[in-house]
Structure 1
Amino acid sequence: MCSLLTLDDWKTAEMKELWIMVVFATVSFPQGDLITSSAIPTTIDITIPTLGDPITLNTTGLPTTSLPTTSNTTTPPLVCINGGELLSGDCICPDEWTGETCSEGNFCNSTIIGDFSFPRTMVDWSAYSEELCDENTTSAGLPKALAECSYDTGSPMFGPPHELQCELTLSDILGNISSNSGGLLQLAFSTQILTSRPKRLSADNITTAAEIANTLLQSANITEDIAVAAVTTISQLLNASEESTQERDAVQNLTETLEMFSLDQSNNVSSVVQPNLVVQSVQVPSDSVGIQFTALTGRSGNFVANRIHLNNNTSKLIADKGRSTDVQIVIKFPPVLHSKTTSHSIGFVLYQNDRFFRSRAFRASPGTSRRVISANLGEVSALHVEMLFKPTAVSNASLYDFACVSWNYTLKDWSTFGCSKVNHSADGLRCFCNHTTNFAVLMSFRRDFKYADELHSITILGCSISIIGLSLTITFQIATRKSRKTNPTVLLVSICVCLLIFTLLFMLGVDNPHKQLGKPKIQEDNILPPSDTHTERDRGPCTAVAVLLQYFLLGTFTWNTLYATHVFLMIRNSLATSPSHFTAYTMAIGWGLPAVVVALTLGISYRVDDPLGYRQEEFCWLAALDPKGNFDFKLPMFWGFLIPVAFMLIFNTVVLVCFTVTTAKTNPHLTSTRHTSMKKKFLSSFSLAVVLGLSWILGYLLLIPQNQTMYTILNISFCVLTTTQGLQIFILFTARTAIVKKKMSSTLKSISSFGIPLHTRKFSLWRGEHSYNVESYTQQDTDLSFSPCSTDI
């Protein structure tokens, strides 16, 4: 059944064109059923999506009874636009967009008002002009004007601009503000512009601006515009970088003033929301059981008005449509308030960070901050205040513990008095307090360490072979020291001893015996943590291994350098023996210098309550990386190892070059032995490079950023060459020596000639008519030849 629908009295007062709309409506009935007049609907409502107005279809002459209809509809998932992100079935919008699907603009477009250009700005925020004060003025580089973006006209629009006198200073404003009541608004806007670049503010500027804002908020002539300008100034001060004890009292007074301002309803300011600060005032009816203040999670972390919610009649924390929240606070009113017939005032102040609440008892890492929320209900006692703080996400770390605290203005520090923990989860950390003031949650985190299950197979194999080779080399050098009077036995043995002990320690003790495995268990007691970074106290063994590894590896390079010094003196002075007292000097330097470096490193970086300043947690070696996994030049791996070893390797490389150049010179008359001579010279240079530890240069190349392929090649080469250094020393300085070759030759002769009898066998050889009888002797000694014993013709 089709009917033509005409639209009468269509109002188009605000439309520029007349639209004639024809709508066809179709009604379907089940096949085979008897259609009666009572089964036909009288009206059909149709909604036009673009206009949103219901259109009614009237069918003339039909009864008003309609068929019951059923529909199976499913709600399609939301499609977030304009950069919104779907989270738990809800669109999390950027600051500049709002609405269910982030389709509604929450900003004023960039525009030009008079002589000033203003950029696109959030609603309720102030925009600063692109035009700046001249370079020859006191306020050089600061904006000349500001304009506030608001909804006053029904759509986002900038208000009239307020211009700054570029010669005006904060000190001038502070001097005039107490005597000039009529110009408070202009002074408030000027202060806001002068603090619009908070990173440029000095400690004196911050103190002065805090005093100005404090005076404005306490003024009897305060208006809404003045209050907004003062709160905006305070919000900007929360981004200031300078900190000093000079400003401490000024900001403390400012936080107390903000509490009283939020509670005072006579100023007619119910809510001011700025990026770093929210001030909310509310009147609660006497029959209300409690009130909830919620700040929903946003994309940028800034506070936005449409994400600040109030529930005026609740006694427990209630989720807001499943959306994640940064902060929630509920105040459950005591029975004494229900007996009063008048409403009561409540004030909330929410700070983006704790810059105005610097603690001496709680050490915070640089760049970290904590949100602070203030609730004020006047002099009412016996309150039940419950809070929920979203746990901070820290990369490569887990929450170790937290404390529910309130600010004590007497101590000028955080205190756990009157507060306790309720519970904790991934959604938030719950706290309970029996009073109202400034609250926060102080969290401490423990780094998540990645432990290697076992050493790499190449390292294990290479170190094992090196241990055998170094042991044999030490034994050989000591056993044959009398027959090698000109060789530097002490130097080579000391190198091998240091390298052997280092390799043994590395294989057996580099793995931390006290690993921090599993997630930490949060304590139930509400105890103030000393820092936001938790580190286990040192238990001893791992630090001891790190100390010994540093000492013996530094000792290896020190003896390498002394060996290089000996070679250099031999080349320069053409000496066959070492200078007098050289051995005594080398012993003092070789064993003493590493001890000095290790002692300085421990004294500077090691603390019992913070052993990770000296060593790593993943394995027992010097600390090298910051919490973000980046190489830190302030840690001892750099200045306690890499720097001294770098100087030694540079010197060793220079000596190797001098040695190679010197030995490469050949006698042109000895042409018959030139090939053999060059081979021996190459092996001599290679042997010197091995004993001087120059393969460690590859380790420095790994510190340079490069592509993955090259990094892998260098890493494998470094691992193979360094772990097999002991084997290389054994081959070049023990296995290839004339003494070892002679010993091996005589040993083989003894083995081959022992217990092997001679064998005789007769053969008959026929050649024509003659025959020959030959007796042959066989023997495995290669020095003997075969010869006939007799010949018969």
Structure 2
Amino acid sequence: MRAVLVVADAFAVPIELTFQNLQFTSALNNPSSEEFKNTSTTIEKLLTESISISDIFVQVRRLRSGSVIADINIYKLSGDQTYNNFSNSLSEEFSKEGDEGIIDFDNLVIFSTESCNVEIIDGLTFGPAASGQNTPSEEVCPESKINYGRPMPLGLCTCFSDGLSAAVWQDVMLQDCGRDATSDELLERLNMITVTEENVEEVITAVNNITATGSDSITPDGLEATAAIIESVTSVNSTSAKVTSTLVDTISSLFEVDDMVLLESQKETQAPSRIIESLEDQLAVVDLEKDKYEFVTSSVAVQAQNVTTNELDHTGIGIASYQSADVIVNVTGFSEKEDLDNSASVSIYIPPTITKMFAASNGTTAFRVVTVVYNESSLFPTNQLNNATRTNGQIISLSIPGVKLNNLSDPIVTTFIPAEISKNNDETTCVFWDFELDDGNGGWSSAGCYLANGSLDGSDRQICHCDHLTNFAILMNFYPDQEEPKIARYITNIGLGVSIVCLLATIVSFAVNRKVRKSKPQQILCNVCVSLLCLYLFFLVGIDRTKKESTCTAIAGLIHYFLLTAMFWMSVQAINLYYMIVKVYNTHVSRFFLKACLFAWGIPALIVPITIGIDVDNYANKNYCFLVVTRMYYSVALPIAIILLFNTVVFIMVLRSISKLGKITAQAHRQKKSRHLLQNAACISVIMGLTWVIGFFAIGSASKVIQILFCILNCFQGFAIFIMYCLRNKDVRSFWIEEVRKRFIGVSSTLRETKSSSLSSSVGNTISFGLNSPKEKQITHLSLKRDSSNNQESFA
């Protein structure tokens, strides 16, 4: 263990002197040799006489080669003087001319026993520090490390001296700065900084560095932090072109973020939309050099310019973007629609009447126009679109800061050349990004926009007209495989048709048969059948009635309602099964069926209006009349998942109860009956559950087999119910056999009466048809009974 030696009331100053005229020999390595003693005495005497400071003592501690290099200590009583003052006095003494040129003062080095000077060790800077002090390096953990800014130096080093030798730095102890910080952690760290005019450029540059190198690892939390930082940057209202360009470059990097991350972030915090709005805010304040600012990246291009109404007397404002190999290369202006270059990938044009109207209403002759072009729709994530319908080309935005232009008489004209062109994508929808759609999550809306025409110049150009300003795009339908929809459509139509007939037959069987009708399980099943029948009818008739929005919304609400009622009645059936088989005793529930109706018909009647009330556009799907995918998870998938889980638990309990039944006759009969009930209930629950489980797998890019299997199971449920609950039910079969027998006997009696009447007439009415005596009536009754018995046996 090293310790620091302090000589009380005395100073020890180590120095290093080089004597050019002395020759080094090996004997000088030995302090006890005569040669070392003589040389030391000479040097000590020389220094003592040369230094005018009184009361000093000079000691040569070591001699080294290099002519002769002497390590010397100079001691002095401290008195009232400080160590640094004494060291400075020595330095001044040595700065005088040396005696006879023996001492090389140019190579004089003065050390300290009390402190270490600044020194770079292993690339790290330490000092100054007092002897015995553990000193952190000036360098701290880099920003890329998790422990950056805590503070955490890169290394620690101790200044050490034994009180006689020069203080020196010991070995460096490197600090653990931790793992590399993730992009999210770096962004969260930046988000904690208060952005000011002084540091705004530094902050946005740091964000740009993170997104440029780590955009592929950013999560929704990282996007939220990015949006918050960008909002803070734009709130400073910096007019710096460099800040603006760095912001544009940062947003361009965000196009590399995973699409699912962008979608989740949009649903949770609307971070992508907030970033887009912040960019437009920044372009509204940036300094314009020669009345224009322009910056182009591979994914985003922006332009801000000042215009005057005098310049627009007879011309409008036109901006066009040009693309090469899926990269934006240029943004330029044009004044007449006819001046638009056919090679422009996207353009927007404001006619002069709109600028004049704006000038007249606002009393201004000069204003700023901001244009943004996005190479694709990554920063506009939504659940509306699918593989068949999606944006096809660039997105262009034009705005006048601080001004809302809506319900324009002369339209804003936008043109698009689709990025992907095929013979199947000829159905074009002109849309704009509505930030308020879907509870503020944003989405594409066609309100106020329509397709004017397309492909007029042979370039596949699509021309849209809109009555307002915002972010514009086109949606197109793609049909990569036309066979799958046809097969699925055929299976759906056939299956639903068969199921509707079977469900009607099942409902009629339960309704007209008093014995079956009184059974509680059959009453429940009858309600299931009614729900499925309504679901199939509305699906078959109205699922594709998308032309009229109000009609489509109504049909979507009804389909949603009857789908939920069918599943809720399934849970009622599971509850009834539990009372019949598991609980058995004290199972009476007053007004059970009334409560079941309130539950199964009532709760869906609350869910559907609430879903509509939250946002009626939830049902505004452009391809079919049903919920958009986002709401489907909460309003459809969640209730169905809970019901299926509940039914599964009940079935397990029922199976366990049946397995414990004894072997005696009464129990065996009960076991047989219970198994029969469970078999029917389990079959229909498994069929409905399996349908929806497979339905989840059939969403998106599922295989053809999964999609076809989903269609088959979903559409033939009514047929399966008819097989299980009518054809396999002995009471139902017997009822219909008896009904047919009665009808057969009735027809036979009518035929006999007709034949007898004819015979009586042919013999001159000599034989009177009809029996008057009791004996004759008895004989006839026995005959009819025998005939009906034979008929029944034959029919069976």
Normalising by structure 1, we get a TM-score of 0.47
